[in-house]
Structure 1
């Protein structure tokens, strides 16, 4: 199973989401799930995550400092099972880029994961620490729910105990 977390610039929400997912996947020892992140824009390609995102993730025990931004590519729809989008704009951009047969792979991450009461991860870029904490809380909840969803899938490769 391959998951791609997508936001606008790939320096705040999606690297935090990638980090949260990697942490939850490692915690459950689910080595059959791989994760990456990308942005719908190429503004920050090759750059590390925003220093505030790095600090926020670090406060929660996750190191995302080695991640580097990249832009979402059409090929990603052939390489990944799900494109987990942070908000409606990211979803629209991703689906516009997708080959027609693969558009359904792009989903709003929070509803897809089963997070009640929230549909988008707000962009903390123009905010302060509290905005990054709010985004972290949502991506971490989505990461936990994503792992649980994949563990429940009949075709997940996990044999029930």
Structure 2
């Protein structure tokens, strides 16, 4: 969900020419599969296009290739940090940018009900807004 929302907000801010958004898991499960049907349905209902998203696994090379690598929770952050030398300013929690709960984790709503997806989307949207503003500022836009 964060990938789709962040990509849309980057485009809305006119930053698509300078910012590439990619998404991957730290594990190899679901590679090539679309996102959870409940997440996709919610995103569609809110005007986002979730049709292109496919699961992939993060590679160690991403730590050097990308300016910012964001993890949704502490476990994934720890997994990323085992992949190689990581700069704590470049490999961070997505929730570090959350204006309501700075430093929070984004919970995985997979095993819960639909309401979990709704609350995660709200957290992702408000955090993506702050993140995009931060990127725009860093780019001088």
Same fold (TM over 0.5): yes
* Structure 2 residues without counterparts, runs of 5 or longer: none
Q: How does 1:60-75 map to 2 (within 5 A)?
A: 60-75=46-61
What's 1:26 paired with? 11
**What secondary structure, in the 3-state scheme, does the structure 2 residue paired with 1:37 have?**
coil
d(CA) in 2 for partners of 1:34, 1:157: 17
d(CA) in 1 for partners of 2:128, 2:67: 16
**What secondary structure, in the 3-state scheme, does the structure 1 residue paired with 2:23 have?**
strand
What root-mean-square deviation, in Å, do the aligned CA atoms of Structure 1 and Structure 2 show?
1.3
Match status 1:116 vs 2:103: no
Match status 1:91 vs 2:112: no
Match status 1:76 vs 2:62: yes
Q: Give the number of aligned pairs.
A: 138
Q: Does the aligned pair in 1 maintain the 2:98–2:123 contact within 8 Å?
A: no
Aligned equivalent of 2:92, options 95, 99, 107: 107
Cα deviation, residue 157, structure 1: 4.3
d(CA) in 1 for partners of 2:66, 2:12: 22
